[in-house]
Amino acid sequence: MPLLALRVEVAHETADALSDALLEQGAASVSIEGLDDPAAVLSAIFAGDADPQLALQQALANCGASSGAYTVRSIDEQDWVRRSQAQFAPVRIGRLWIGASWHAAPARCACVRLDPGRAFGTGSHPSTRLVLAYLERVVRGGEKVLDYGCGSGILGIAAAKLGAAGVDAVDNDPVALAVASDNARANGVKLRTCPPQALTPDRYDLVVANILAGPLIELAPRLGGHAAPRAAIALSGVLASQAEEVLQAYAAMFEIGVSAHEEDWVLLSGVRR
């Protein structure tokens, strides 16, 4: 079945947030073009039986953005696969290396192999890289980790590769949970995947969440409840302009602040009070 390509004009300052929101609405991939033009252009790929127009409307509502003109057209699947492979480059972050099945991994690294596909998270987005760098710094082995909003499972898999003793990966998208499970098996690690409502009331040594500012604010009581005393937390998917509002939602439970940034994105991290 041919794939569907959505192209939409959007203001530069909301392009990244809309990109993430489209991925949450089922886009297989999203790229941002026209960086030097008056408006950015997002190109999103959907399955042939998807409704890109509805996905766009929901994504715009979720991230509070507005868009200009958009088009939807059919494309050949093989053309998209070849283009995706050409655009997807490996990422090296300290001990971590993230690459696709067709890349050669360097020796003596924590190797995470992920092919671009049906769920968000290949290491190419700044928000993902921020959390990967955090994990590379803080995971020393034996930790119990919660990856909330796991997408492809990249963060949980990276934590396991770095020595975490157990990783629970949570997502409200059944496709993401299936992809995360498949990716974990392909990487030779174990993730316990489940939807939010099935998460047991465990306490974790490390909680990570790379989603969007709005959901992070709503999830503050839940994530705080799953953090053991003095547990570490890392939150991403947050623009610098949104950081203060998210920090306020977590300040009562965590000693937390902005600890890193890349482009317009920031990492919020701290410890449970």
Q: What is the pLDDT along the chain (273 residues), one digit of tens a residue?
A: 678 889 999 988 888 888 888 988 988 778 787 766 788 888 888 888 899 999 999 999 988 888 888 999 887 655 555 555 555 678 899 999 988 877 888 888 999 988 765 545 556 688 899 999 999 999 999 999 999 999 889 999 999 999 999 999 999 888 889 989 999 999 999 999 999 999 999 999 999 999 989 999 999 999 999 999 999 999 999 999 999 999 999 999 999 999 999 988 999 999 999
Give residue 119's pLDDT: 46
**Main-chain dihedrals φ then ψ at residue 159, nearest 5 degrees:** -60, -45
- What are residue 147's DSSP bridge partners? 169, 208
- Record the pTM: 0.72
CATH of domain 3-84: 3.30.70.260
The vertex-52 CA angle with 193 and 102, nearest 5°, equals 55
Give residue 236's pLDDT: 96
Q: Which fold has domain 91-272?
A: Rossmann fold (3.40.50)
Structure tokens at 117: 């596909």
Task: Report the relative pairing of strands 204-210 and 144-148 from DSSP bridges.
Answer: parallel
Structure tokens at 59: 């994504």
Instruction: For the chain, count helices (H), then strands (E).
Output: 8, 14
What residue segments make up the domains of the chain, in order of their start?
A: 3-84, 91-272
Yes or no: say if 91 and 97 are a contact pair by the CB < 8 Å rule.
yes
Structure tokens at 222: 């839940």
Task: Report the relative pairing of strands 29-33 and 110-113 from DSSP bridges.
Answer: unpaired
